[in-house]
Chains A and B, each alone.
Chain A
């Protein structure tokens, strides 16, 4: 177990290192931030001074080395635009995005698993069939369109829910959260649902097919032949076997939800990381882009690690030592 963990951590370090190289080269290909940041009227001397101030006069390998040195000391550079440490800038926006992503994944669990279970147990029922048909829409409708439709319906027509921002927030552990106030929850509802839609569909279909596959198996019949209540047969014997693919997918989707909440955050003007990264890409604010992507990479690595650890609890046949 310890050996496995160590090996995984070393692997993770290499993944992060590879990512920094790709990022540095990629960002230099995209364009020169100086052209955007400095006004066209600035003279040659101003321009040279600005370039030097941002450290862009150094050769690429030196910039990269300096960046790595900084990263080892927990410094991912300062934003060209805000002149604040990039990490701090992202840290301020992180809770909003986390809150949104966690709500979306929770919705996917709370709605997707029971519906999938029902659709699997009663595949010919009206609810089961409509859930399956609806899940196709959940997959295929583009997020931005659903978001706009939600705003049209609930904010414009019905006026039930606010359409933008985080609303009132409350302090917990020194961080502002929306879900602690009624107003904040009202603001959270639509974007969270919008972000959750695809995940709900995915979890629903996964659980349904799992139930359909598991029900005819001998150990389920044996559990019934033992005289167990149906709730226990389904809730324990069937569910525990289905949870392995569900946990895998939810883990990966959680990372994806955080990384790609950009669209939802833009539509609902949710002040999270997604919006920050879009703004930063527009002005080629390199340190912020780099810092953001580093955090995303670290998050995926961490989520994969947690998912692998969860496997051992869900499936006793999985032994971590056996795998790379």
Chain B
């Protein structure tokens, strides 16, 4: 398998008056062609910032403080803005969380699609329109020709997300970063879109980073999972490894808090405590304040250790017993 994206030691910091927020702190992962990586974590764990960092869309006071983002071997962090712009929406596309907000409310769908086509391909207006229409058809929008002349407010949320996906697919990108694209949608639409994305990934060999806090979404979709906590990846591995044989206490907590048929009627398990403030986070494992297994050793940074092939962990006290 060819590696499409290889992120090495990426750190994205935001300088605020109160201090430096390490939103993303020394994370590494890679995605291969046709592979779907689920990037999982709570709100504020740095998932979205990771996505924006890959595309170089971090605005001041934020900046990429360290690390490399290798896309087909080219380091995007070192790339000039103009070169980066040629990749955005072309080779790397992004889909956002809230479909009600991603499309410009005062521009027609065709305007927003044609400009994307023509930003990266020297084609006529008519040709661009045809491509836009075909893309709408591909994501399952009925009578795409008429829908092209509509405005975003004339679409439902699910339809708008389909339009956003169609825009992301216009140039057949090698990598799609999907930032919780189904969170704002109802469950049936969510299932449809997930199935369609999976098909697209298989058929075109598109690599995907699927950012979500919903483990059940990732379970059916992803090939590999990276669990983020407080700006760090605490556990990575294949879906089977991470979901069936989780080792990090935080991953255990996440899986335990998913409602399940086996525990019907029982109280939902929670992870005690709150996510720590990312501002001036002390050294050591960020999860130790909420962790039942934490001891003195956890005050220093746990190194990334490969427990089994491809199953990487940052924890001194992996939890080996099976999740209930």
Contact = CB atoms under 8 A, between A and B. Distances in A.
A107 B101 CA distance: 34
B104 A223 contact: yes
A225 B57 contact: yes
A221 B89 CA distance: 12
Given A218-B98, A228-B119, A241 B57 contact: no
Given A224-B57, A225-B93, A228-B116, A218 B102 contact: yes
Interface stretch (A16-24, A248-256, A310-318): A310-318
A240 interface: yes
Interface stretch (B23-31, B80-88, B249-257, B289-297): B80-88
B255 to A, nearest CB: 30
A323 interface: no
B57 A228 contact: no
Contacts of B105: 219, 241, 315-317
Interface string A206-247: 000000000001110111111111001000110011000000
A236 B118 CA distance: 15
A219 B103 contact: yes
22 contacts: A218-B98, A219-B102, A219-B104, A221-B96, A222-B94, A222-B96, A224-B88, A225-B88, A226-B89, A226-B115, A226-B116, A227-B86, A227-B90, A228-B89, A228-B116, A236-B107, A237-B104, A240-B104, A241-B104, A241-B105, A316-B105, A316-B153
Interface string A284-324: 00000000000000000000000000000011110000000
B41 to A, nearest CB: 20
Contacts of B104: 219, 223, 237, 240-241
Contact of B106 (A224, A225, A226, A314): A314
- Which A-B residue pairs are the 7 nearest by beta carbons? A227-B89, A226-B89, A227-B88, A218-B101, A316-B151, A225-B94, A219-B104
A72 B120 CA distance: 62
Contacts of B119: 226-229, 232
Contact of B107 (A224, A225, A237): A237
Interface residues of A, number: 21
How many chain B residues sit at the interface, stated as a range, is 20 to 34
A228 B256 CA distance: 43
Contact of A217 (B94, B101, B120, B167): B101
B159 interface: no
Contacts of A236: 107, 115
A225 B91 CA distance: 11
Nearest to B113: A226
Contacts of A241: 104-106
Contacts of A218: 96-98, 101-102
B88 A315 contact: no
B166 to A, nearest CB: 12
Nearest to A238: B104
Contacts of B98: 218
A278 to B, nearest CB: 43
Contacts of A317: 105-106, 151, 153
Contacts of A228: 85, 89, 115-116, 119
A232 B90 CA distance: 17
B164 interface: yes
